[in-house]
Amino acid sequence: MADLLYPPVIGAARAWFKALDLRFDVRGSEHVPAHGGAVLVSNHISYLDFIFTGLAARPAKRLVRFMAKDSVFRHKVSGPLMRAMKHIPVDRSRGEHAYSHALDALRAGEVIGVFPEATISRSFTLKDFKSGAARLAQEARVPLVPMALWGTQRLWTKGHKRDFGRNHLPITIRVGPPVSPDPDETALSLTDRLRERMHELLETAQRAYPASPGGAADSWWQPAHLGGTAPTPAQARAL
CATH number of the domain residue 230 falls in? 3.40.1130.10
Model pTM greater than 0.75?
yes
Instruction: Give per-residue burial for 28-38: e unless 16+ CB within 10 Å, then b.
Output: bbebbbeeebb
Q: What are the φ and ψ backbone dihedral angles of 113, each rounded to 5 degrees?
A: -100, 130
Cβ neighbours of residue 98 closer than 8 Å, sequence gap 6 or more = 67, 88, 89, 90, 91
The answer to the question of residue 50 being in a domain is yes
Is-contact 188 130, C-beta < 8 A?
Answer: no
Q: Residue 175 and residue 11: Cα distance in Å, rounded?
A: 22
Residue 91: DSSP 8-state? -
Structurally, the chain folds into a number of domains equal to 1
In a domain, 11, yes or no: no
pLDDT digits (tens, 9 = 90+) for 122-140: 999 999 999 999 999 999 9
**Whether pLDDT at 2 is above 90:** no
Mean pLDDT of 216-233: 96
Is 9 contained in some domain?
no
Residue 2 lies in a domain: no
| Type and span of the H or E element at 167 | none
Is residue 130 one of the residues assigned to a domain? Answer: yes
In a domain, residue 4? The reply is no
Q: Is residue 158 domain-resident?
A: yes
- C-alpha span between 17 and 97 (Å, rounded): 34
Cα angle at 87 between 36 and 16, to 5 degrees? Answer: 100
Does residue 16 lie within any of the structural domains? no
More confident position, 215 or 200: 200
| Residue range(s) defining the domain that contains residue 151 | 26-238
Q: Is the pLDDT of residue 181 over 80?
A: yes
User: What integer is the mean pLDDT of 111-127?
Assistant: 97
Sequence letter at residue 44: H
Mean pLDDT in residue range 171-186 = 96
Terminal Cα-to-Cα distance of the chain (whole angstroms): 43
Is a pLDDT exceeding 80 seen at residue 94?
no
Contact of 202 with 217, CB cutoff 8 Å: no
